[in-house]
A and B are shown apart, each in its own frame.
Chain A
Amino acid sequence: MFNKLKIIAVLLFSIAMMYACSKNNGEIKPAEKVVTFTQPTNFPAPVYNFEDNKLTNAGFLLGKKLFYEARLSADKSVSCGSCHQQFAAFTQLDHKVSHGVNNCQGKRNTPPLFNLAWQKAYFWDGGVKNLETSPLNAITDACEMGTDIQQIIDFLKSTAPYPDLFKQAFGSTEINSQLILKSFAQFTGVLVSANSKYDQVMRKENGAFFSTAEQAGYNLFKQKCISCHPEPLFTDLTYRSNGLDVSGTDEGRATITGVSTDLGKFRVPTLRNIEYTSPYMHDGRFYSLDEVLEHYNSGVKSSINLDPVLKSGIPLSPTEKEQIKAFLKTLTDNEFIKNTLYSES
């Protein structure tokens, strides 16, 4: 009888141990959901694909942790996430230009981060040509993170839990620039915003439909805006001057190409999530959509390389402006803005 009890006790104990073990295993892998990259049905094929950078939960989580790691910057005050805030569709709310280490003010407005896998070039001037090498710019810019990749490698090698996280993500505790950049890309490449009201209307999902004002705005948009901001990305990713100044101080695209016909041109920004990405333009000069629309209505200046389609501006009546604004707000993707998969912690 005593023996039987002993056996049962041992059995119970071992079951308890097994349970504890499984619980521990669960804690090591906090992400239950498998992180995936999916091409939305109303989107073209992406430029960046994960063939040479296999997407895994561990790689994504490492990239996310690095994205929110302020200790990567020169004075340990600024992370990627400082200037790319999720609630602002990963731009920086209320900042005309990016605000980097040592309170340094950069010269351009922080671009939002989403649908990056569809871009062929990055930054306002298109200087960077690959998603994977994009973070190097912000890392090394004296007015952004003000550091260099070697310092970041040294920091990560000597700071727990990073060696373990690299091992989980890439199978080795080895930390080098390539793996750092690939993990960043696993996070930034997965940031896809394609579930706005507009998308649902286009995909005929959830019975979504435009209000009268939104539909009128969409019709106007297709007449007046779509040549530079085509669907579904709402940018044609070209470089154009929209006549902000007769002669601006920022050379824009010409900084990269050295060609005078590119002076003052900047990449056409996407209009997705525009409700949350204020202020607007490469230098963040406009705080509201009203100011932006009034610029096209009455403020276009004859810059040397002014885009031909803007020669006469875009005349808009007050009603038309309201209708276009109503449509632009259908490009807000609240699911993306609030998705905890992309949030810090």
Chain B
Amino acid sequence: MGSYAMCIHYELMLHGLFLLNQLIKMKLSKYFLALLCPIILLSACKKNNDEVIAETKGSFSMEFENQVNGNPLILNTSTYKNAKNEDFKISVFKYYVSNIKLSKADGSTYLIPESYFLIDASKDDSKNIALKDVPAGDYTKIEYTIGVDYARNFAGAQTGALDPINGMFWTWNSGYIFVKLEGTSPVSTAAGNALTFHIGGVVDPNNTIRTFSTEINAANPLRIRSDKKPNMHFMVNAAALFTGKTDVSFASLNFTMGGANSVIVANNYANGLFKLDHIHN
């Protein structure tokens, strides 16, 4: 009786009430239905198996080479010049890369889930990030958020790259510092000639979320295969915070933690901070 009931259930599911009624009208015996049942069950199993065949996936990495106007970024010791020809040194340089999205030539896209990374110039292992389980294919465009999307700024307690322990979360005004650059400049009027650039904030008019996007040379796209681990090499120019749309003088702007001045800096680095240099496929 149980198997008969189960069979009817499958019949209902697979062929509809109409067919069942037809069968009953035709006075087909229970035994015939019982016989039909395993066949339907088997065919259902077969169908599931078809679905199990997964699309091929692969992994790749993104490497961030921190520089200042073409020179290697060396924390604390090297002296650099901004667009106003003012000397400065960098002691802290950290930034978020999140919501990495890949596009194919046909316009289809793949957003890498939970892709939140904090790159810290003082930590070598943070400069090379690994991305896994990406559907195979040739990708001709990559884009990502410089910072953290709106929702996560106001979400509950996070972990991993977004853990407040990383010193990139404002405790008094919820939200992440997207880009943090600290250092000194002799022209800075702040105590100790300090430079403090904590760029963040997601509420208009001081929204600093910026998206970086770059086409990938179609002749050498990002080739995701199950047996390859391509590497994308990005140049990151820390001096881009201070030039581009507005040349920043450290005499007048040497401290910002969100607000209108952070927007000036974000507008500068939106286009100049990252450059895709090459891909090792």
Interface positions of A (Cβ within 8 A of B): 52-53, 123, 127-133, 136-137, 139-141, 149-150, 153, 176-178, 180-182, 185, 255-259
Q: Is the CB of B206 within 8 A of A153?
A: no
A150-B155 Cα distance, complex, nearest whole Å:
20
With contacts A177-B163, A257-B203 taken as known, whether A53 is within 8 angstroms of B156 at the C-beta atoms is yes
Question: Are B206 and A258 in contact, CB atoms less than 8 angstroms apart?
Answer: yes
Nearest-CB residue, chain B, relative to A130: B156
Q: A133: which B residues are within 8 A, CB to CB?
A: 156-157, 164, 169, 171, 174
Which residues 193-231 of B sit at the A interface, judged by CB distance below 8 A? 203, 205-206
Known: A149-B165, A177-B163. Is A132-B157 also a contact (CB below 8 A)? yes
Nearest CB of B to A265, in Å: 15
Given A129-B174, A258-B206, A258-B259, A181:B156 Cβ within 8 A? yes
Min CB–CB distance B82 → chain A (angstroms): 25
Bound Cα distance from A127 to B203, whole angstroms: 12
Bound together, the chains give a CA A151 to CA B83 distance in angstroms of: 40
User: Size band of the B side of the interface?
Assistant: 20 to 34
Please tell me if the beta carbons of B258 and A258 are within 8 angstroms of each other in the complex: yes
- B260 on the A face (CB < 8 A): yes
Contacts of A180 in B (CB 8 A): 157
> When each residue 165-176 of chain B gets 1 if its CB lies under 8 Å from chain A and 0 otherwise, what string results?
100010111110
**B164 close to A177 (CB less than 8 A):** yes
B-side contacts of A127, CB under 8 Å? 172-174
Sample of 7 further A-B pairs with CB below 8 A, known A128-B174, A177-B165, A256-B173: A128-B172, A129-B153, A129-B175, A149-B165, A153-B165, A257-B203, A258-B259
| CB contact between A132 and one of B156, B172, B260 (< 8 Å): that residue | B156
Task: Give chain A residues whose Cβ lies under 8 Å from the Cβ of B281.
Answer: none
Number of A-B contacts (CB under 8 A): 67
A130 touches B174 (CB 8 A): yes
B110 at the interface (CB under 8 A from A): no
- A98 vs chain B, min Cβ distance (A): 13
State which of B156, B206, B260 has its C-beta within 8 Å of the C-beta of A185. B156
What would 10 A/B residue contacts be, using CB atoms closer than 8 Å?
Answer: A53-B156, A123-B172, A128-B172, A133-B174, A176-B163, A177-B163, A178-B157, A178-B159, A181-B156, A185-B157
Task: From B156, B163, B172, give the contact of A52 (CB < 8 A).
Answer: B156
Q: Bound complex: CA of A217 vs CA of B134, how far in Å?
A: 65
B242-269 interface bits toward A, Cβ cutoff 8 Å, 1 = contact, 0 = none: 0000000000000000111000000000
Q: CA separation between A9 and B260, bound complex, in Å?
A: 83
A130 touches B260 (CB 8 A): no
Give the distance in Å from the alpha carbon of A128 to the alpha carbon of B155 in the complex. Answer: 10
Q: A133-B157, A178-B158, A185-B156 are in contact. Are A149 and B164 (CB under 8 A)?
A: yes
* A177 with B171: CB separation less than 8 A: no
Majority secondary structure, A binding face: helix
Task: Identify which of residues 143-165 in chain B touch chain A, using a CB-to-CB cut-off of 8 Å.
Answer: 153-159, 163-165
Complex CA–CA separation, A177 to B161 (angstroms) = 12
Assuming A149-B165, A258-B206, is B258 touching A177 (CB within 8 A)? no
Whether A129 touches B159, Cβ cut-off 8 Å, given contacts A149-B165, A153-B165, A177-B164, is no
Is the beta-carbon distance between B157 and A177 smaller than 8 angstroms? yes
CB neighbours of B153 from chain A (8 A): 129
Q: Are B154 and A140 in contact (CB under 8 A)?
A: no
The residue from B155, B171, B258 contacting A136, defined by CB atoms under 8 A apart: B171
Please give, as numbers and ranges, the residues of chain A lying within 8 Å of B163 by CB-CB distance.
176-178
Q: In the docked arrangement, what's the CA distance between A176 and B162, Å?
A: 12
Q: List chain A residues, Cβ under 8 A from B203.
A: 257
Q: From A128, which residue of chain B is reached at the shortest CB distance?
A: B174
Separation in Å of the B255 CB from the closest CB of chain A?
A: 14
Do B171 and A140 touch across chains, with their CB atoms under 8 A apart?
yes
Q: Which chain A residues border B172 with CB–CB below 8 Å?
A: 123, 127-128, 137, 141
Q: Is the CB of A182 within 8 A of B156?
A: yes
Taken together as a complex, chains A and B put the C-alpha atoms of A52 and B260 apart, in Å, by: 35
Q: How long is the Cα–Cα vector from A131 to B157 in the complex, in angstroms?
A: 9
State how many angstroms separate the Cβ of B261 from the closest Cβ of chain A.
10
B24 to chain A, nearest CB (A): 46
Q: How far is the CA of A149 from the CA of B156 in the complex (A)?
A: 15
Are B157 and A258 in touch, CB under 8 angstroms? Answer: no
B258 contact set on A, CB distance < 8 A: 258
B157's contact among A141, A181, A257, by CB below 8 Å, is which?
A: A181
CB distance from A128 to the nearest CB of B (A): 5
Asked if residues A131 and B165 are in contact (CB atoms below 8 Å), the reply is no
Give Cα A18–Cα B153 distance, bound, in whole angstroms. Answer: 52
Q: Is the CB of B260 within 8 A of A258?
A: yes
The docked-state distance in angstroms from the alpha carbon of A180 to that of B164 is 12
Known: A153-B165, A176-B163. A182 touches B173 (CB 8 A): no
Please give, as numbers and ranges, the residues of chain A lying within 8 Å of B260 by CB-CB distance.
258
Count chain A CB atoms within 10 A of each CB in B155, B159, B173, B259 and give the residue with the most: B173
Residue of B nearest to A127 (CB): B173
Q: Which residues of B contact A123 (CB under 8 A)?
A: 172
Q: In the bound complex, what is the Cα–Cα distance between A137 and B260 (angstroms)?
A: 23
| Distance between B33 CB and nearest chain A CB, rounded to angstroms | 44
Complex CA gap A137/B169 in Å reads: 10
Knowing A149-B165, A177-B163, A178-B163 are in contact, say whether A130-B154 is a contact too (CB < 8 A).
yes
A159 to B43, CA, bound (A): 59
